[in-house]
Amino acid sequence: MLRRFALLITALALMVALVPALPAAAQDTVTVKYWHTLSDSETEKLDELISMFEEANPGIKIEASRYAQNANEFRQVIMTALASGDPPDVIRMDIAWVSEFADLGALVAMDEVIPDFDTYKEQFFPAPLQTNYFAGHYYGLPVSTNTQVLLYNRAQFEEAGLEVPTTINEFVDAACALSNGEERYGYAMGGTYFWAPAPLFFAQGGSITDPEVTTADGYLNSEASVAAFETLVNLYNDGCMSPNLLGGGIATDAGHATDLYSMIIDGPWMVSIYEANYPDFEVNFALVPAGETGTSSVVGGEDAVLMDGSKHQEEALKWMQFLASDEAQIVMADAGVIPTLSGLTGNEALPEYFQIFMEQLETANLRTPSPHWNEMDNAINNAYQYMLRGEKTPQEALDDAAAEIDAMLSGD
């Protein structure tokens, strides 16, 4: 009996020895948590990228979590995760937030973990790359960029015998000529947060702070900045701009597509939005009308950032660098995401309409790179609302906002 038992044990041991070992990737798969706020069409492309990446990197799984496209809500979700000590590995973060989270010590500096970063960074357009720079380091990789341009209703312009405006004065004249009470407004703006008036503000020479970001006094309340907001307030008071920016009413995309708003200023994502919701609507783009210093707009986009609390930094960094690759950015371009890689300029795989946005980006301005940007944005937002409601003149509102921002900056 004992001899039989010994033979059975020997046979079982031999069978186990003959079973091939599982691949290391199957045994040690690492999951990288990735948070984003992509649109429906962008998320479809992201799913393609995840499949491509996981196929090329069988030991890494990407767990993507999509959040609502509400900046304040998403920012609060990130703050909550940091407070709980359970952040994701990588976040596709609004460029205006990078300095704030870097200042909190929540991000890993790319120039400290990517070998020869000085050479690596040269592949990016300068402006999107600069959105990651804070306190002497680069805290993210630019994975998408954008700006806003003028969208106009060609049929309404032709009917009125008007040319597409190329200057601020022509823009004001066209907005009023095309307005017809509540039946149609020549121009509409999406809100009072700084992103909305920023293109016309910068085009008229407005500025928020000095280049070193030490003071807003003399900049946000300068003659040029005040004049820029006076232009907008006058349009509003004269009935040439829709009152929807103070809440309610028809959204800018829907109003423009249904002939309620002759002009809006918006980004490249509008193409996919109109294709999905208003397939028969013709989208027409032009540069933001120029002030005395020429056309300008505001730089937007997102940076991929590596969270300091990530337990899988090597794998997370590999995912980030894939998102910033030619291959990945060409895929995302199908959903209207403008690449950040200068080497893709003129690439035949990019949509033709990207050209107007890339031209506008040449003179577009960054929102102030400061850990206080969210509070600065709120101060300007409130000032704009005071002006529109007639509670303060543009000069008074911007004087107060400049003082409020200087109090923030003096605490650094």
pLDDT of residue 170: 98
149-298+372-410 is classed CATH 3.40.190.10: yes
The pLDDT score that the predictor gives to residue 27 is 54
Instruction: Tell the burial category of 110 from Cβ atoms under 10 Å away from its Cβ (0-12, 13-18, 19+).
Output: buried
Among candidate residues 75, 73, 100, the one with its CA nearest the CA of residue 367: 100
Q: Which residues of the chain have pLDDT under 50?
A: 1-26
**Model-level pTM?**
0.83
Residue type, 262: S
Residue-level pLDDT at 26: 47
- E strand residue ranges, 181-308: 185-187, 261-266, 285-286, 300-306
Which CATH number is associated with domain 24-146+301-361? Answer: 3.40.190.10
**Short-list 28, 36, 26, 22, CA closest to 319:** 36
Locate all alpha helices (DSSP H) within 244-333, ordered by sequence.
252-257, 270-277, 313-323, 326-333
Beta bridge partners of 65: 35
- Reference 166, options 301, 287, 44, 45; nearest CA is 287
Residue 333: the pLDDT is: 92
Angle at alpha carbon of residue 368, lines to 362 and 86, rounded to 5°: 110
Residue 319, classified by CB atoms within 10 Å of its CB into exposed (0-12), middle (13-18) or buried (19+), is: buried
Of 196, 146, 192, nearest in space to 300 by CA: 146
CA atoms within 13 Å, Cβ hemisphere of 49: 28
Spatial contact of 98 and 140, defined as CB atoms under 8 Å apart: yes
pLDDT of residue 412: 61
pLDDT in tens, 31-57: 999 999 998 889 999 999 999 999 999
Q: What is the pLDDT of residue 28?
A: 83
Residues of the chain with CATH 3.40.190.10: 24-146+301-361, 149-298+372-410
